[in-house]
Chain A
């Protein structure tokens, strides 16, 4: 499913369903007036109701009417048109559905639907009266009975910072499934909390959580866009206390990471940016601010494999739920494809069932949005091999929704559509977990191979959906400019000590963390030799490294020196590596010894003899073959990705600091032993194939 749209199948299935489930017996049809909508059904869900009906031949669109009624079904208010259904709202246009929201959950309403031919209104359907679903959770069951300030205030108020802390602390206290951890603090010292949710209990350490293929939702980066955050808080309660087998099954197969408020200062002041005025969603690569740095360290430590980033949208013409994958061209193709599958394969299909209009961000009258800035979390995560999407909650008004401004009803429409999306996100991860992990593993290996051009800015195209596209136009093409393409990718960037450790002024109050600290937050391998600091490109975040360290980077940290391979082609005889040696597309016939203080970086290289390093600065190998043993001792930087090793492999007494040695996606035709390394090596969730025994620190790799 991953590389192809399941569209044709989905449409075919839905057509079949329509044909087989449509009752429309002849006598019922004759009872209906000409062009009257028939078979109106209403299905209740959390905060919205899905209307479905038998389409009318020749209808241009449909109007959805809602009337408040009392318990006896007697109207208590005037009928109001609360929505328009038109064909570009969904991919299977033969089975119209409309998610009506924007009411107080639990209230009772009557709905009717009528077709319009052009502007000519046709007869209304028979009315359907139904009571909507009350806010989730039995009011008499501890835990379930918790409510957010937003729910208690009937959406007249958003949940405040202190109410959020109290609410999440209560969930933590009452549910074994939930642990609240503090990721960091905002500029104004508000906690940035994350709910870690698993079943029956969440794994205890970040590394253990990472092993569960977690999903992450960033709920509120722009302080004046709080709709997703309220959905996150409600979903946290559902995940914590629901006894629905679907929920416990979901939580048995992943860990859900929810960051309700990364931008607590902006939320408190209702500003887009943080308290310094910095738009945090233009900072996830640069991580100048403590808020973004906290999130990026979380990604490094917890390693989510899929993500959503919540926003609200000012474009009233767009669909209900604009979404967009990581488009930056340095994002590995499998991650782009997986993200597109999540959006177009899953969300478009499920949206057509629930009645929500998911569409590409930038669709209607797109404007110059949804582009390739790596500073935007959507792209940053993609460059970190996380399948993910942006989520926008549309503004009020437009072609298919009433214009209610920032009132309680429109807030509910936003929040409950976000809640639907986040639940669908969890369902997608559950259903496609193996595909997600495969695309992630492939992407890590593709990136570590360091092949192909680098693009500093520029997007992959989002082609119009053939259904047709559920929007009137695709997002802007945003192809890379010629001067933002580097065809000849370097092997590494070399930084001076001043560049690496020097004081910076680009943070709050004119004080920035060092490049060294930011690279550590991203989790990159760095090799220190006696002439500088080297950041090799043959590692999992290859596509992001040049954007921050190359002189051509549009929003870079520093001007690193490009270092090109020094060893290519065939070389016979023993090789003793001194200084910084980069091999690419090389064949080395003979043993390789990395001298103390020296470094070997290699890609697409075959080495016949043993490779040994003792007290070396670094050994970073990818997409290569070692036809002999590999032995690395007392060395500082180690990354071995997608390498075939014929002999035994051993890592002993290495001092890699806080950045663990990477052993990912390798084939080792012998034993693998890791002993007495300062930090246990990791495989980033990309398993190695080891023919011999795995022992000690590598027993689980």
Chain B
């Protein structure tokens, strides 16, 4: 999925999603819970469960974080990796956590399939470190993170967070594409690039063999 122009790819997403976003704002029957607590923001949000769809942000707000992650369609790679790595269950029970969750497209643009399977099945330590690069203790809104300017992820890295137009940019490489999901003791921000120190292994062609 690594097109020659990743940027163009994302612009296309945004363009296509913008009209859909209008659907939610003009919906004559908004979902029962419209408190700011369940307001998610970003160009990807409209393509994720909205309104009263199963897995909508209001529903997820009452869910344990591991369950909430299973409802967000574009996080299948991250969700499975988090489970496999044990990075979340390693935390003391009740720890508040903020999750910077790379989308499936982000993982596909970063790791070759062979490399990813190797990490998932043979290198749990590396995988755990990679996942910790996406976890922050405490529940932080994306605005809080921008205001602070930097944040520390559980792998010990300091990540810069800056405002870029309507969204936030992390570590100078990832944009928040749908931020401020709530779950029990947690915030989830979907980002469009993988953080951490592992090298890119995805090829320049988006072919993958059957």
Chain A residues at the B interface, C-beta cutoff of 8 Å: 68, 70, 76-80, 152-158, 224, 268-273, 275-277, 279, 281, 309, 311, 313-317, 324, 361, 365-370, 376, 378, 390, 392, 395, 397, 402-409, 411
Contacts and interface: CB of A to CB of B under 8 A. Distances in A.
Given A397-B9, A397-B12, A314 B73 contact: no
B22 interface: yes
Given A269-B120, A273-B121, A392-B210, A76 B23 contact: yes
Contacts of B120: 269, 271, 277
A309 B108 CA distance: 23
Contact of B73 (A155, A313, A402): A155
A209 to B, nearest CB: 27
B105 interface: yes
Nearest to A265: B121
Given A316-B206, A376-B210, A404-B47, A156 B73 contact: yes
Given A271-B116, A271-B120, A272-B117, A80 B210 contact: no
Contact of B49 (A224, A272, A361, A408): A408
Contact of A407 (B9, B47, B83, B118): B47
A269 B80 contact: yes
A408 B26 CA distance: 21
Contact of B209 (A157, A369, A404, A407): A369
Contacts of B13: 403-405
B76 interface: yes
B103 A406 contact: yes
Contacts, number: 145
Contacts of B44: 405
Contacts of A369: 207-210
A101 to B, nearest CB: 15
B71 interface: yes
Nearest to A406: B104
Nearest to B12: A403
B163 interface: no
A156 B12 contact: no
Contacts of A406: 73-74, 76, 103-105
B210 A370 contact: yes
A315 B206 contact: yes
Given A376-B210, A407-B74, A269 B84 contact: yes
A154 B53 contact: yes
B122 A277 contact: yes
Interface string B10-28: 0011001001101100111
B1 A277 contact: no
Contacts of B108: 314
Nearest to B203: A367
Find the residue from A152, A316, A378 having the highest chain B CB count within 10 A: A316
B49 A156 contact: yes
Interface string B198-210: 0000000111111
Interface in B36-80: 44, 47-49, 53-55, 70-74, 76-77, 79-80
12 contacts: A70-B28, A77-B23, A152-B54, A157-B70, A224-B113, A272-B117, A277-B118, A314-B207, A315-B206, A317-B206, A405-B105, A411-B73
B73 A68 contact: no
Chain A interface SS verdict (over half): loop
Interface of B: 1, 3, 9, 12-13, 16, 19-20, 22-23, 26-28, 44, 47-49, 53-55, 70-74, 76-77, 79-80, 83-84, 103-105, 108, 113-114, 116-118, 120-122, 205-210
Nearest to A274: B121
Contacts of B26: 76-77
B208 A271 contact: no
Which 8 residue pairs across A and B have the least CB separation, nearest first?
Answer: A77-B23, A367-B207, A78-B19, A277-B121, A270-B80, A156-B55, A314-B208, A406-B104
Contacts of B77: 224, 270
A156 B71 contact: yes
A688 to B, nearest CB: 38
A70 B27 CA distance: 10
Given A277-B118, A405-B104, A272 B113 contact: yes
B73 A407 contact: yes
Given A314-B207, A403-B9, 15 more contacts: A76-B28, A80-B16, A80-B19, A224-B77, A275-B121, A277-B117, A277-B121, A316-B1, A369-B210, A370-B209, A390-B210, A403-B13, A404-B13, A405-B103, A408-B48
Contacts of B48: 156, 407-408
B23 A68 contact: yes
B210 to A, nearest CB: 5
A416 to B, nearest CB: 16
A154 B205 CA distance: 32
Given A224-B77, A272-B113, A369-B207, A402 B16 contact: yes
A277 B117 CA distance: 6
Contacts of B205: 365, 367
A271 B103 contact: no
Nearest to B10: A403
A219 B117 CA distance: 20
Given A314-B108, A406-B105, A409-B47, A77 B122 contact: no
B80 A315 contact: no
Contacts of A316: 1, 3, 206
A68 B108 CA distance: 31
A315 B207 contact: yes
A397 B3 CA distance: 11
Contacts of A224: 76-77, 113
A292 B9 CA distance: 37
A405 B121 contact: no
Nearest to B11: A403
A408 B72 CA distance: 9
Contacts of B23: 68, 76-78
Contacts of A78: 19-20, 22-23
Nearest to B55: A156
Contacts of B103: 405-406
A397 B117 CA distance: 25
